């Protein structure tokens, strides 16, 4: 997907290319929703901060965030007076109580890869989505371990992701690559290698053929530039490179950092 100048703005504040693409996908979806109250389910909500994202877009109705670990900000978001009321539940998507056919919009951002049985999770959310309801899922791409390290149970390719939702009965409305090879390379070099060391940890493990952890791995993963994306000259350089990268992404489509899939329950 191509970003507008307004959608690129988070890069100036140090956002990663993938987060910038993901927020742009969600914003475009929300801008196209009707003005009526919505019932929203956020799967793997983490801190629960996406409720503020929905509120800034003028949504009203009910928001339910679920996660296996309680978020430190859940109480604050739930207590904030707003036309969009927020509540939270702690538990896995496989077993947490959910009303059937109740939600107009379901979001999961970097959550499905952390669910052991993603097929069961998708079927469970299908049952909770009202007919005609929309679901937007943001997932990491096949090579994203070079950006974030090994976490969760899996990463996704376009074919497997489409089949996952089609087999559960959903209609596929859109599938977008969240960036291309240029922003992938920038993320890997600037964040994965220089800032966090996650890419160096992955490369270290590969060179050792998956051997056990040791002192050398700790040294390989040690951050080098922890202030890379803090206000200052380094952030200005990163922001300029990131804006150039996302503009060049359409010319180099792969590898992609992740996918956004929009589906509808018939």
Distance CA 213, CA 193 (A): 18
Which of 51-60, 126-135, 215-224 bottoms out in mean pLDDT, i.e. has the lowest? 215-224
Evaluate if residue 214 carries a pLDDT over 80. no
Distance CA 211, CA 257 (A): 26
Q: Which residue has the tokens 């707003």?
A: 82
Position 54 scores a pLDDT of 96
Quote the mean pLDDT of the chain: 93
Residues with Cβ < 8 Å from 68, sequence gap 6 or more? 90, 91, 92
Position 151 scores a pLDDT of 83
Residue 209 confidence class, pLDDT cut points 50, 70, 90: low
Residue 147 confidence class, pLDDT cut points 50, 70, 90: very high
Residue 213 confidence class, pLDDT cut points 50, 70, 90: low
Are 59 and 85 spatial neighbours (Cβ–Cβ below 8 Å)? no
Position 221 scores a pLDDT of 84
| Sign of the dihedral defined by the CA atoms of residues 87, 92, 94, 95, in that order | negative
Q: Considering only residues 237 and 33, tell me which one the structure prediction assigns the higher pLDDT.
A: 237
> 38-89 pLDDT, tens per residue?
999 999 999 999 999 999 999 999 999 999 999 999 999 999 999 999 999 9
Q: Which residue has the tokens 């191509």?
A: 2
Position 210 scores a pLDDT of 54
Which of 34-38, 157-161, 185-189 bottoms out in mean pLDDT, i.e. has the lowest? 34-38
Distance CA 220, CA 198 (A): 9
Task: Give percent above pLDDT 70 in the chain.
Answer: 97
Residues with Cβ < 8 Å from 92, sequence gap 6 or more? 68, 115
Length, in residues, of the chain: 266
Beta strands 129-140 and 258-264, pairing class: antiparallel
**Structural domains of the chain ordered from first start:** 9-264 (3.40.50.150)
Position 23 scores a pLDDT of 97
Q: Count how many Cα atoms sit within 13 Å of the Cα of residue 56 in the half-sphere of its side chain.
A: 8
Task: Give percent above pLDDT 90 in the chain.
Answer: 82
Structure tokens at 179: 């960036």
Evaluate if residue 175 carries a pLDDT over 90. yes
Q: Which whole number is the average pLDDT over 196-205?
A: 87
Evaluate if residue 195 carries a pLDDT over 80. yes
């Amino acid at each position: 997907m191509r970003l507008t100048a307004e959608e690129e703005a988070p890069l100036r504040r140090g956002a990663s290319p993938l987060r910038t693409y993901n927020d742009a996908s969600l914003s475009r979806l929300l801008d196209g929703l009707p003005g009526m109250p919505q019932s929203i389910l956020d799967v793997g909500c983490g801190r629960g901060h996406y409720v503020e994202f929905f509120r800034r877009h003028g949504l009203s109705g009910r928001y339910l965030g679920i996660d296996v670990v309680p978020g430190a900000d859940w109480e604050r978001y739930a207590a904030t007076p707003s036309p969009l009321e927020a509540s939270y539940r702690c538990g896995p998507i496989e077993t947490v109580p959910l009303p059937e056919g109740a939600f107009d919009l379901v979001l999961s951002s970097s959550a499905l890869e952390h669910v052991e049985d993603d097929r069961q999770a998708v079927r469970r959310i299908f049952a909770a989505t009202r007919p005609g309801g929309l679901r937007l899922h943001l997932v990491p791409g096949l090579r994203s371990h070079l950006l974030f390290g090994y976490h969760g149970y899996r990463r996704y390719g376009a074919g497997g992701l489409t089949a996952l939702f089609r087999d559960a009965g959903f209609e596929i409305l859109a599938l977008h690559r969240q960036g291309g090879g240029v922003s992938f390379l920038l993320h890997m070099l600037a964040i994965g290698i220089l800032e966090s060391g996650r890419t160096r940890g992955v490369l270290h493990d590969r060179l050792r053929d998956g051997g056990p952890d040791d002192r050398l791995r700790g040294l390989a993963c040690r951050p080098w530039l922890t202030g890379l994306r803090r206000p200052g000259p380094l952030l200005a350089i990163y922001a300029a490179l990131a804006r150039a990268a996302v503009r060049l992404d359409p010319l180099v489509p792969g590898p992609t950092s992740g996918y956004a899939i929009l589906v509808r329950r018939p």
